[in-house]
Structure 1
Amino acid sequence: MPPLLVVLDFDGTITQEDSLDALTRFAAHYNAAKEPAVVSESSLLDDWNISVIEPYLRDLAKFENEYTPTKQDRTTWEEEKTYLESLRTVEESSVERVEASPIFKGFGDDDYRRFGREAAAITADEGAEKSGQPTPTVRLRPGFNDFLLWWAAASQRSQQQQQRKLLGLVSVNWSRHFIEGVLGVADSEHVQRSHHTRRRDRTKAAAANKMNIDEIGQSAAEKDNATPPPVISKLVVDRVVELTLVANHITPEPRINGPPGWQKPLTTADDKQKAFEQLRGSLKHSSGLVVYMGDSKTDLLCLRDADLGLILADGPDQSSLFATLRRLGYQVPHVHQDIRPVTKYAWARDFTEILESKILSKLCG
């Protein structure tokens, strides 16, 4: 069978909502804790809203109002792609404001992993009051951990079927390490809850609550300023699931750097498409099948270029992607409908619906 690549977005796809607010609030909380007599969490967040959020929203509104052709007049992929790439100036200006803010100053990779672990742990510990901790949470879409378990089992079967399977994640999130933290804890916590009949002792649970990161060395492509192989992240659930993660990185200064080997941060749909093509190239097989899962306009080009594009949304009227694809002439059936082999796009509310539909199982033989 041909190899299979499944690539996922993070914010709004794996998670139920954008996680950048939670990331920012954790940074403000712990930054203020360093010098409570000098700065407060509320003052950091107030400054953040005034210097970062409000200017971004103004820039975005101005861009949307002035851009031509207007949304209703964009009816071709080329027009939509040009529009999406034109957003780069808005996104890069926002990155500069983020870097100028003191809110992320002084934090290292392990700090961001801790923020992610705590955000996921607060979510898993439903309703628990944790003294001295910030309260924002990062909630996964239902069924994501079951999806990982399904993927691990399917990958094991594929070794006998001689079908290579790769799992990737592409995100414009500012911190790859925050994503690692969220996934590292949320997986094991939720797997324990959904498989409560399996009792684990504390030692085994602690061993499951971690993510091991392997950095790939420089390739010839990297030396030639091409995009190098990305970081491989191993998620520990009931089994080890390898996830190829392409996302940004915040340094202590702070600066938002792109994935290893990228000259700039990953910010736009065009950037995500380049990362997506990088992952596709890792299949090393011209007839490989590619599935992409996303929720927002930065995912549009990746959804287009996949063999099957799955949109995660709370409903067909609650996703801008639906309106865009319909404007471009496509129908987007729900995964529980009669999906034909020629179907290009489908949607689901969560990973539970995707697994129930068996739409991925059909690609795995």
Structure 2
Amino acid sequence: MSPLLFRKLPLRSLSAFSTLLSYRASPTMPLKPVASPSSPVHWILDWDGTITSHDTLDALVNISATTKPNFPTLKHWNRVTQAYLDDYTTTLAELAPGGALPKTVEEEKTLLESLQVVEQRSLDRVSESGIFQGLTKEQLSQGANTAITSQQIQIRTGYVDFFNHIQSHKTNFHILSVNWSRHFILACISAAGAELRLDSIYANELQGIQEGTSSNGHISPDGNTKIVSSGDKLQCLEHLRSANLTSGKSSQIVYIGDSWTDIECLLAADLGICIRDDPMGSSQKRLAEALERLGIQCLPLKDWEKSDKWNVVWARDFDEINEWAQSTGR
């Protein structure tokens, strides 16, 4: 499910993402606290609404629309958006009659796994619409740079300083996103002054972009990774965790996200940090409501040592996170 489509869902709806975690799958499973400042940290961050103040999918679609003014890009975009909402609403009503949403992690797991097909159908509609057909890597980069300089895309307060701090400590860092182009993410990050290697970004890609040819409009996984749901993001996180262990590192994972598509990673990380505006945006509110519904405490970051076994907290921005990282030696 795309970041933009997800935020158009009704407030009582659940995010349609796939298999819930096997690691920490039970509310009674003991969790490892982030306690030792001497332990290295592996930072994993969501992109849309986390590093950025808002979703960037509109900007991505607008880049494509600008490159082919005679193609009805926005008309097709509105059509596939509505088709997704209709599909999601119908499927959720069948799986959770009367809006009876789960109260436990195990129940949530069953429901969310059943909703995975909705995400794939949406991805197929976007690919078949031709919205991104003909787009090139150069156009993506130029469009991303324009979006950053014009502030159509805004990087969150404190992010660049936070990134520079963890880079100075040579800390592991990855972006993990359901966005449809990791080259687009890279171009935005670079334009904002936070240089990053492409292989530090786990996201989908428009087919043809990686090869340097014009895209055929299909959204395909980059390598063997398809990331369209929270369950897909969790698989990537666990892959990174396994890679740490294989290389002899015992890094503690800190995951930062803002919405439903981040919930599994927030629960699986050694520390999960929810980004919350004041007032909270609709997707942030859904995440907060879900944590409460599942009985998961979410304290302010400054009170992280008092958190329950799930170790999920919240922060306003990256200034706050950077202050915490420096004060705890991370």
TM-score (norm 1): 0.71
Q: 1:66 to 1:105 in 2, by over 3 A?
A: same
Q: CA RMSD in A?
A: 2.1
Q: Could you tell me how far 1:346 is from its partner in structure 2?
A: 0.9
Q: 1:361 to 1:290 in 2, by over 3 A?
A: farther
Indicate the structure (1 or 2) with the bigger Cα radius of gyration: 1
Among 300, 308, 326, the residue aligned to 1:334: 300
Determine the structure 1 residue equivalent to 2:75.
46
Among 86, 94, 101, the residue aligned to 1:58: 86
Q: Could you tell me how far 1:102 is from its partner in structure 2?
A: 2.3
Alpha-carbon distance in 1 for matches of 2:48, 2:220: 18
Please show how residues 270-281 of structure 1 align to structure 2 within 5 Å. Answer: 270-281=231-242
Question: Are residues 1:19 and 2:56 paired?
Answer: yes
Say if 1:311 and 1:346, in contact at 8 Å, map to a contact too.
Answer: yes
Structure 1 unaligned blocks of 5 or more:
33-38, 124-136, 156-164, 189-209, 214-230, 232-243
Among 256, 259, 269, the residue aligned to 2:230: 269
Determine the structure 2 residue equivalent to 1:250.
206
Please show how residues 18-97 of structure 1 align to structure 2 within 5 Å. Answer: 18-32=55-69, 39=70, 43-50=72-79, 52-68=80-96, 72-97=100-125
Alpha-carbon distance in 1 for matches of 2:124, 2:232: 17
Alpha-carbon distance in 1 for matches of 2:168, 2:279: 31
CA displacement 1:74-110 (0-9 Å, x = unmatched)? 1211222232232321111111111112221112333
Among 288, 306, 312, the residue aligned to 1:345: 312
Question: Are residues 1:144 and 2:159 paired?
Answer: yes
Q: How many residues align?
A: 279
Alpha-carbon distance in 2 for matches of 1:54, 1:73: 23
Question: Are residues 1:306 and 2:269 paired?
Answer: yes
Say if 1:31 and 1:104, in contact at 8 Å, map to a contact too.
Answer: no
Q: Could you tell me how far 1:72 is from its partner in structure 2?
A: 5.0
Alpha-carbon distance in 2 for matches of 1:333, 1:187: 31
CA displacement 1:114-152 (0-9 Å, x = unmatched)? 2222211211xxxxxxxxxxxxx1111111111111112
Question: Are residues 1:292 and 2:259 paired?
Answer: no
**Partner AA of 1:295 in structure 2:** D
Determine the structure 2 residue equivalent to 1:99.
127
Q: 1:269 to 1:212 in 2, by over 3 A?
A: closer
**Partner AA of 1:325 in structure 2:** L
CA displacement 1:200-228 (0-9 Å, x = unmatched)? xxxxxxxxxx6654xxxxxxxxxxxxxxx
Determine the structure 2 residue equivalent to 1:282.
243
How many percent of aligned residue pairs carry the same amino acid? 35
Determine the structure 2 residue equivalent to 1:126.
none
Structure 2 unaligned blocks of 5 or more:
1-37, 208-214
- Describe the SS at the equivalent of 1:339: helix
CA displacement 1:44-81 (0-9 Å, x = unmatched)? 2123212x111111112222322227765412112222
Q: 1:360 to 1:279 in 2, by over 3 A?
A: farther
Q: Could you tell me how far 1:175 is from its partner in structure 2?
A: 0.5
CA displacement 1:233-274 (0-9 Å, x = unmatched)? xxxxxxxxxxx2111010211211113123xx3111110000
**Partner AA of 1:332 in structure 2:** C
Q: Could you tell me how far 1:321 is from its partner in structure 2?
A: 1.2
Q: Could you tell me how far 1:278 is from its partner in structure 2?
A: 1.2
- Describe the SS at the equivalent of 2:173: strand
Q: 1:283 to 1:22 in 2, by over 3 A?
A: same
Alpha-carbon distance in 2 for matches of 1:85, 1:10: 23
- Describe the SS at the equivalent of 1:139: coil
Alpha-carbon distance in 2 for matches of 1:63, 1:360: 45
**Partner AA of 2:237 in structure 1:** F
Among 162, 169, 179, the residue aligned to 2:175: 169
Q: 1:87 to 1:81 in 2, by over 3 A?
A: same
TM-score (norm 2): 0.78
Say if 2:93 and 2:99, in contact at 8 Å, map to a contact too.
Answer: no
Say if 1:75 and 1:327, in contact at 8 Å, map to a contact too.
Answer: yes
Q: Could you tell me how far 1:166 is from its partner in structure 2?
A: 0.6
Q: 1:277 to 1:212 in 2, by over 3 A?
A: closer
Alpha-carbon distance in 2 for matches of 1:272, 1:361: 29
- Describe the SS at the equivalent of 2:313: strand
